[in-house]
Amino acid sequence: MKFKYEKPQNGYPEWNNNPQIVSLNMNKPHSDFVSYETKEQAIEGIKENSSRYISLNGKWKFNFCKDIESIPEDFYEINYNNDSWDEIDVPSNWQIKGYGIPQYTNLIYPWTGREDIKPPFAPVKINEAGCYVKYIDITKEQLNKKVLINFQGVESCFYLYVNGEIVGFSKDSFSPSEFDITDYLVEGKNKIGVKVYRWCDASWLEDQDFWRLSGIFRDVYLEIKNKTHIVDFRVDSNLTDDYKDGTFSTKVKVVGIGNYNIKLELYDKENIIYSSKKEVTVDGKANLHFNTIIDNPRKWSAEQPNLYKVIISLENENNEVIEYVSCDTGFRRFEIKENVMHINGKRILFNGVNRHEFDSEMGRAINKEIMEKDIKIMKQFNVNALRTSHYPNNPYMYDLCDKYGLYVIDEVNLETHGTWKYGQKEEEGALPGSKSEWTDAVLARCKSMFERDKNHPSIIIWSLGNESFGGENFRKMYRFFKDNDKSRIVHYEGIFHHRMYEDVSEIESQMYTRPWEIEEYAKNNPKKPHIMCEYTHSMGNSNGNLDAYYKLFRQYDVLQGGFVWDFKDQAILKKEGDISYLAYGGDFGDFPNDYDFSGNGLVFADGEVTPKFYEIKYWYADVLFEDVKEGLVKIKNDYLFNNLNRYDIFITTTKNGEFVDEKCVNIDLEPGQTYGLEYDVVQKRYKGEEYIVTFTVKEKNETMYASKGHEIKHHQVVLKPNTLQIEREENTNKVNINEEDKLITLSTEKVKVSLSKESGLLEQYIVNGENILKEESRPYFWRSSTNNDRGFKNEIDAVSWRNPKMNLVNIKIENYINLVNLVVDIELDNNSTVTYVYSLDSNSKLKVQQILNPNRDLAKIPVISDMFILKEEFKNITYYGRGEIENYWDKYKSAKVGLYEDIVTEKMVNYLQPQENGAKTDVRYLEIKNEKGEGIKISGVPTFEFNISKYHPEDVEIADHFYKLKPLDATVLRIIYKQMGVGGDDSWRALPHPEYILNPNKIYTLTYEIKPI
């Protein structure tokens, strides 16, 4: 029967000022499956291999309409000639393909300042549309069956036409829209027309922090069904109260007419462990229920994602199978006991990430390869949980989460951040609030997500959306989930801002709360389990302070981890002539925009892992080390289900970074248990000998996501010298002093060191007759501002530390024959003082002390360092310290102390907006040499930090994109006492934690030694 279309009664189209119209003539939502002709296909479970699945992905005819007035009225008619239209790939976002421009905003609605509208009105003047056409061939055999068309994702709403007739309408961007088009088809050639609007009234519900893109961005396919077929099924695989046996329940819905058999089989790999057949008489529709107990099944968890295959077959009266359907299932139990969440009886800790669906070249139209790559990276970096921020993901993503093992918070497609403000007390204009005109829309989004995703064992929490304040509509959404699903719990962070609706979330969920604040929650009679649904904001060079959170997560049972914001940068590859770069808000002329606020991923938009992810990996690891005494460490297996014997533990000893010894041990250690691991110690360690014992936990065997030997966690023990050694250093050489008009020069047989008498700064350091310095050295107290620095306005507050003018007060020479000191006093124009003590001894060792006495009234000091501009040829470096990834005062655990080699090139850590990057801490020494092996060795007293680059920090500071940076024909070296931590609790107000801040309330001394090579 064909759909009889009637226009809305209010005189507006369905897409505008009609929020209560969710869809027209759309099939009811159901679980994500297709039917197969053979059991082998059903077991394999690859939709595309079913002959009943016909993909419509590929080239479609496309007409981009810059305004809705230019939409061709009858483009979908059979006689309308679309031959002159462009072609576009489906799935894709049309902005990515060059039609219109992408726009990035965080919370502000994209039409703000361009068209003055209020909900539920959609933009009209600035709205755009895309018209799609595709021709399909239908056989006579197919016409005798039921033909469905399924759109997995269309942004923001669309009308569907077949052979000139309207079939239906849908306006939920991230949920499937399925239509029965059987009665509209003819044998042979058929015309499919789709009209997509960029924005509709439902766009008020889709104010997520993402690029505003449009089009058919997920799969489109036909499914050929028998007249009588399985229309839906639900599988619930839970555990008994003692967590031993499995409760297995399957409900099947059939539509059609006649007498049939339904057979249900449960496979454990190749073995059928349960089989049952029931007769059913179908008169329009019928429901069947299978229920049994499975003895001691293998349990599903993120650590051990054991899956079983469910096969359901429909047999006709002749016992001939006319249809197979299938899904994976896993036996697991998720519950709250005594205000703590448990999985299979164990307290769960979420080592999670938020994730937008995004790729720099595909936008939101990502493919299976990208999804699987994302999942593998997560698992390699010890992530065990995913929040689908803030909409249901591509259905294939959940298949991967089931398979690889990730706990999922599945989130309704809802965010209305731009309709309310922080600190707001009453509902006011917040959407959906208690406004009845939006009730159907939000409940439909709940139902679509629930029905599609209900069979996935990886989903353990339903989320009502994101940052949408409160209201009665949330109670209705909560009630929907609780009435339909007893096996999962419901989450909503918005109650934090509107406590009147505390009852709509079973979890106390917060965003960007500081560690000491969540500890207060834990200490004060908490009524709910607590998670950070967003925390450690990963914008630019960030993710410091993570240790503070993880100490609390492991101390208080009620604090159950969090989800990093977020997994991947959202940036679009843009090409301008010969230049390609990752673009952010404003780069396309989009207005309004939120600049680079989309650059907060642990992974760059092109899929490359950032260095900061390694710090997350370190803290997310479930193997814990504690130093007991020299020669003994305590290891705790903090996994819930994995025995530690599945990993190898390598114990490697180095001396001053050089390999000494290594052995491998395997420990049989059950979850939750600890073990004292003894290790060999070099007993006599002389001055200048530093031994480090490194414990590395590695995969013993290849896994789905990592190769054999993949590192899970490391721990290092530094063994200091413990034995006195008599040292005799006889040297009758003396240090020469030569004072000229502009220079004071100290020299030995190997080196000449000259200070400027005008500035008091090091102007020459001559080795083998060559001055390695291109400019005079200088004290340097600035760093290229990070995103977090800008967030707490450090680039404004601390500006007095950016290139303060220097005034030389005095230079004093102290001559001790074999040692000469040059003591230099300098005043800064911010009323601070710097004293340098340059000490050159007869062994050609130059000891440098920079003593900073800051003005106590100034802002926090970004960094305390000396800057050297070296000649370009000095670019080969060897260092003994933390590496090889960048590391900072509050973000260093992931970097091992070791001996590393590198070459200074034009490369840098390519954060979306250039900023401070690449530093190394706990450095014992640094060698910088040219190709001839000549140069300098800088040693710490005892350690220092350094940063070396082809770029000056102030050039990096002002560049808005990496490609605009021009490398210097020099090497820029900063020898650093400390620089403030990078922070990351948030990126808009939070400073680094107090212990990682350089306050101007004391005197600081930077000390290091330079020797020629």
Annotated catalytic residues are: 467, 534
DSSP characters for 958-1007? H-SSGGG----SEEEEEEEEEE-----S-SSSPPPPGGG-B-SSS-EEEE
C-alpha dihedral (576, 579, 584, 588), degrees to nearest 10:
-10
| 517 CB-near residues (< 8 Å, 6+ apart) | none
Task: Locate 357 and state its tokens.
Answer: 């669906």
Alpha-carbon distance of 763 to 742, in angstroms, equals 10
Contact between 260 and 254 under an 8 Å Cβ cutoff? The reply is: yes
Helix (H, G, I), strand (E, B) or coil at 555: helix
Task: Locate 76 and state its tokens.
Answer: 């979908």
**Sign of the dihedral defined by the CA atoms of residues 267, 272, 274, 277, in that order:** positive
Contact between 945 and 977 under an 8 Å Cβ cutoff? The reply is: yes
Strand blocks (E) in 728-830: 736-739, 743-747, 751-756, 762-767, 770-771, 778-780, 806-815, 819-828
Residue the block writes with tokens 């900072």:
888
| 180 CB-near residues (< 8 Å, 6+ apart) | 27, 146, 147, 148
Nearest Cα neighbor of 106 from 468, 564, 598, 508 is 598
Please give the order of strands across the beta sheet that includes 762-767.
736-739, 743-747, 751-756, 762-767, 770-771
Alpha-carbon distance of 737 to 906, in angstroms, equals 39
Residue the block writes with tokens 């070249």:
361
What number of helices (H) and strands (E) belong to the chain? 12, 57
Task: Locate 516 and state its tokens.
Answer: 């000491």
| 768 CB-near residues (< 8 Å, 6+ apart) | 934, 1012
**Sign of the dihedral defined by the CA atoms of residues 988, 992, 997, 999, in that order:** positive
Beta bridge partners of 938: 926, 1010
Nearest Cα neighbor of 199 from 214, 211, 210, 209 is 214
Helix (H, G, I), strand (E, B) or coil at 81: coil
| 979 CB-near residues (< 8 Å, 6+ apart) | 783, 862, 863, 864, 865, 888, 889, 916, 919, 945, 998
Contact between 61 and 85 under an 8 Å Cβ cutoff? The reply is: yes
Task: Locate 455 and state its tokens.
Answer: 């069979």
Q: Which helix (H) or strand (E) holds 548?
A: helix 546-555
Nearest Cα neighbor of 497 from 430, 565, 564, 411 is 430
Alpha-carbon distance of 699 to 685, in angstroms, equals 33
Beta bridge partners of 736: 747
Q: Which helix (H) or strand (E) holds 940?
A: strand 935-949
568: left (phi over 0), alpha (psi -120 to 50) or beta: beta
Task: Give 321's DSSP letter.
Answer: E
Compute how many other C-beta atoms are within 10 angstroms of the C-beta atom of residue 851: 16
| 594 CB-near residues (< 8 Å, 6+ apart) | 104, 105, 106, 107, 108, 209, 585
Q: Which helix (H) or strand (E) holds 315?
A: strand 308-315
Helix (H, G, I), strand (E, B) or coil at 648: strand
Alpha helix ranges (H) inside 628-749: none
